[in-house]
Amino acid sequence: MNSYKNYIVFLCIVGWAGLVSAQSFIYVKDTEGKEVYGAHIFIDPLNGEKAMYEITNAEGKIKNIATSNAQIRISFVGFKTIVDTITPGQDFHFTFQEDQSQMNEFVVTSYAVPTRVQESVYKIKVIDRIRIESQGAQNLRDLLTNDLNIRLSQDAVLGTGVKMQGVGGENVKIMVDGVPLIGRLDGNLDLSQINMNNVEKIEVIEGSTSTIYGSNAMGGVINIITKKTQHHNLEGSTKFYYESVGTYNVDARLGWKFKKNFLQINGGRYFFDGFSTTDSITRYKLWKPKEQYFGEVQYNRSFKLLNLRYSGNIFHELLENKGTPETPFYVTAVDQWFRTIRTTHGLFFTGYIAKNHHLDLTVSYAYYQRRRQTFRKDLVTLDQHLMEENVDVFNQVMSRGIYNYNKPNSRITVQGGYEFNYETASGERIENGFQEMGDVAVFAAAEIKLVKIWSIKPAVRYGYQSKFEMPVIPSLHTRLSPHKNVDIRLSYSRGFRAPTLKELYFLFVDVNHNVYGNTKLQAEYGNNINGSITYTNKKYKHVEFGFSAGGFYNDIQNQIRLIAVSITADSNVYRNENIARFQSVGGQATLNFSWKNLSIGLGATYTGVINTISDEVIGTNEYKFYPEIQTNASYHFKKWHGRLNVFFKYSGAQPFLYTQYDETLQAEVIQEGQIESFGTMDISYLQSFFKNKLQIGVYGKNLLNVTNINQSGANSGGAHSVGSATLPTMWGRTIGVSIAYNFIVSKK
């Protein structure tokens, strides 16, 4: 009997050993021969059985789980998708080919998990690295001058602000890798302080995203995605840029990839000599001279399907506001220096904690300091005496966590998360010297595929705000794909924004500004509706065609606006005030066409706004509409690696608010005026040499020579009117030249 038992045990051991030896695997590597972690593998049996899904492990492999002949599809961000067939019981080795163009097909804003643009329920616009280089964009201001539905505003000292769909200021959230930037002045972040030297791409969502990103996102979000990885062991670049207006920029980047680690440093110096359209006054500059220094360090560490990343950066700017020589002898002048220091430290933990379970955690600390110094300068001896100094300091701690459950071929995807913000402000110009504010919220969403062609994504956010009551913030997005080339999207989003510490408590007074905070401000509440239809054909005989049309509606109650409240011969005093209601409505259409090496894009928008000043006084009883028209063209000379680009945009006249003294009422009355229209055109040519290691670019910018544009009120004029003025918009026609050198070292 025992002999039979021993025989059975022996057969089991032999069978188990045979089974182990029969195990087969699927291996995935890159062109360097290194294992690819986290590659998505779909195995679809040819006999009609249920498809299977796996993710490669730290060794870049999975078990060959095919039970019959099957089609395999392997995808990973940054590589060309592999499609092949496999059989059970055999090993298979696959090698990815790099595909930089595919990077921009995936988005992370509002998802955390990389998601194809076409599959997103959100209408997300992606600005890629090719576009950044083609425009010769040195900062975010340069880049956005050509985008539809985006309007920029310029202040001599405060810098450049942005509006989307007619909504701007504090309602547009600007982030770097999901971390909000701090340091707004007059409600706007200076876009010229956000450089493009290490930017991979930019993702833009127009319309309220308050459900996911909370306060300051009723107008939309701009998420700047930095370069976080590379395919070679050592990569580096350096770039020099000159522009005839007096711009001298240099920056550099160095990245080192070793085993599961990636270390990257980058930095640079940007210098602008100032510019003025008034030739008779050479010392005073309408566009102030500025010098910027910036640096960043990133470190990534991979743990199987997880990644830990640290990012730290610092930015320093000195802006000089040189005064005109004083009478009677013109040997002295009053100058102001504005120093800005911004540092951000972020810790990011992202990846799959289990099959189909993705986690994205962010913790960041940001510091912002703005120092204003006033000097009296002797123009003979060049000595200067400090007359006045103010320092304002802001700190922000932020944490956001997003969990996603995303099972392939499942009808439902679940998302949940939290967000925490705590901000402080201190300084002589802050009421009582110190103020603080915080909020914490949780949010949840579920993307449900009702049928194969129709999915919806309801979401909700709820939380606590330390100074204002935060309501429940719902949203609903839907995507319908009645045809493989057609996508229809429709969304509704509720919005909420609490006044910021600066709007409540900040006092900003200098020779150009006299702005007071307002502790009686109320929170803003809004509703946003967006809809679009997109058609994109597959490339056929070198021809690709795409069309998109859509519309939007924004309705914001208690919108906070900076409005003049006192006009004297010596000074205009402004204060943040709530207006009863702001509404904007508009439509947009774009057409994209490519044939062989030629790409052409056409677009137009028509936006209308209503400003309801108060419940008793109506600013206007009808929409004020303004158009925008955009044309872009690019031709790629593949034979000699050159690219010619043309960018044109027409911005129609738009309304603005100002105060007008009413002789009958003997009081200042808020009125609505108009800012005149203008058009811009840029042309560039980029030439690559030595297998793209050296690139030279020549740029003709603002060829229509736009400088200052006029703003006027319907009844402007007189000693008390602030309705008429000229606004610095651009600094005239310029020529730019860039030289960039890239090098790569791969381990043999």
Cα 178 from Cα 187, distance rounded (Å): 20
**Rounded CA separation 548/630 (Å):** 14
Q: What count of Cα atoms within 13 Å lies in the side-chain half-sphere of residue 627?
A: 7
What is the spatial distance between Cα 405 and Cα 596, in angstroms, rounded to a whole number?
Answer: 41
Question: Given this model, what pLDDT does residue 68 score?
Answer: 87
Residue 614 is predicted with a pLDDT of 66
- Residues 301, 260: Cα–Cα separation, whole Å: 6
Cα–Cα nearest to 169, from 479, 628, 556: 556
Cα–Cα distances in angstroms (integers) from residue 380 to residues 163, 325, 336, 374, 384, in the given order: 44, 11, 18, 18, 11
Q: What is the mean pLDDT of the chain?
A: 86
Q: What is the mean pLDDT of residues 69-93?
A: 85
What digits encode the pLDDT tens for the residues 648-679?
999 998 877 666 666 776 666 667 778 889 99
pLDDT (0 to 100) of residue 18: 46
Q: Which of 268, 296, 174, 276 is nearest to 223 (CA)?
A: 174
For 174-217, how does the pLDDT look when each residue is reduced to its tens digit (9 = 90+)? Answer: 999 999 999 887 778 889 999 999 999 999 998 888 898 988 88
Helix ranges (H only) for 263-413 are none
* Lowest pLDDT segment from 182-196, 407-421, 462-476: 182-196
CATH topology of domain 224-745: Maltoporin; Chain A (2.40.170)
Sheet holding 70-75, edge to edge: 52-55, 40-45, 70-75, 82-86
Query: Residue 137: its pLDDT value, please?
Result: 94
End-to-end CA distance of the chain: 62
695-726 pLDDT, tens per residue?
999 999 999 999 888 877 654 433 334 456 67
Please tell me the predicted confidence (pLDDT) of residue 247: 95
Q: Among the ranges 24-38, 134-148, 156-170, 534-548, which has the highest mean pLDDT value?
A: 134-148
| CA–CA distance, 403 with 212 (Å, rounded to integer) | 12
Distance, CA of 316 to CA of 266 (rounded, Å):
15
> pLDDT tier at 612 (50, 70, 90 boundaries)?
confident
- pLDDT, tens only, 105-137: 677 777 767 777 778 888 889 999 999 999 999
pLDDT beyond 70 at 484: yes
Are the CB atoms for 461 and 210 separated by under 8 Å?
yes
Instruction: Give the H/E segment covering residue 563.
Output: strand 543-567
User: Region 335-344: what's the mean pLDDT?
Assistant: 95
What pLDDT sits at residue 176? Answer: 94
Please tell me the chain's helix, strand, coil percentages from 3-state DSSP, rounded to the nearest 5: 10, 60, 30
Mean pLDDT check: name the lowest of 15-19, 132-136, 234-238, 394-398.
Answer: 15-19
Residues 339 and 321: their CA atoms lie apart, in Å, by 11
Q: Which residue has the tokens 């040997």?
A: 331
The more confidently predicted of residues 8 and 699 is 699
| Mean pLDDT value across residues 483-507 | 91
**Rounded CA separation 305/40 (Å):** 11
Which carries the bigger pLDDT value, residue 228 or residue 542?
228
For residue 447, name the pLDDT band (cuts at 50, 70, 90).
Answer: very high
Rounded to whole angstroms, the Cα distance separating 627 from 194 reads 28
> Which has the closest alpha carbon to 180: 366, 361, 375, 306?
366
Identical topology for domains 2-98 and 224-745: no
What tokens appear for 354 in the block? 């289990």
On whether the CB atoms of residues 478 and 454 are closer than 8 A, the answer is: yes
- Other C-beta atoms lying within 10 Å of the C-beta of residue 740: 19
pLDDT of residue 13: 52
For position 544, what pLDDT does the model report?
A: 87
- What is the Cα Rg of the chain in Å? 29
Q: How confident is the model at residue 52 (pLDDT cuts 50, 70, 90)?
A: confident
Q: Report which residue type is found at 507.
A: L
Question: What average pLDDT does range 444-463 have in this prediction?
Answer: 93
Task: List the one residue out of 741, 734, 744, 621 whose CA is nearest residue 689.
Answer: 741
pTM of the model: 0.86
Among candidates 609, 619, 708, which has minimal Cα distance to 659?
Answer: 619
Q: In what order do the strands lie in the sheet with 179-180?
A: 124-128, 199-206, 220-226, 172-176, 179-180
> SS3 sequence, 100-154?
HHHHHHEECCCCCCCEEHHHCCCCEEEEEHHHHHHHCCCEHHHHHCCCCCEEEEE
Confidence of residue 23 (pLDDT cuts 50, 70, 90): confident
Listed ranges 29-43, 573-587, 661-675; the one with the highest mean pLDDT: 573-587
Query: Token pair for residue 522?
Result: 């109320």
pLDDT at 100 over 60: no
The predicted pLDDT at position 440 comes to 97
- The strand pairing partners of 660, in sequence order, are 669
CATH superfamily of 2-98: Carboxypeptidase-like, regulatory domain (2.60.40.1120)
The answer to whether 245 touches 270, Cβ cutoff 8 Å, is: no
Are the CB atoms for 28 and 38 separated by under 8 Å? no
Q: What is the pLDDT of residue 107?
A: 77
Tokens of 132: 């950044």
Q: Which residue has the tokens 């950044």?
A: 132
Rounded Cα distance between 534 and 522, Å, is: 39
Q: List pLDDT tens digits, range 352-382.
A: 888 889 999 999 999 999 999 999 999 999 9
Which of the listed ranges 217-226, 288-297, 400-409 does the model predict with the highest average pLDDT? Answer: 288-297
Name the band, by pLDDT with cuts 50, 70 and 90, for residue 552. Answer: very high
Element (H, E) at 483: strand 473-483
Domain layout of the chain by residue ranges: 2-98, 224-745
Q: Does residue 253 have a pLDDT over 90?
A: yes
What pLDDT is attached to residue 236? Answer: 94
Looking at this protein, which amino acid is placed at residue 257? Answer: K
Length of the chain: 748
φ, ψ at 580 (rounded to 5°) = -60, -40
For residue 21, pLDDT beyond 70: no
Q: Over the stretch 161-173, which tens digit does the pLDDT of each residue have?
A: 888 888 887 889 9
Are residues 292 and 195 in contact, defined by beta-carbon separation less than 8 angstroms?
Answer: yes
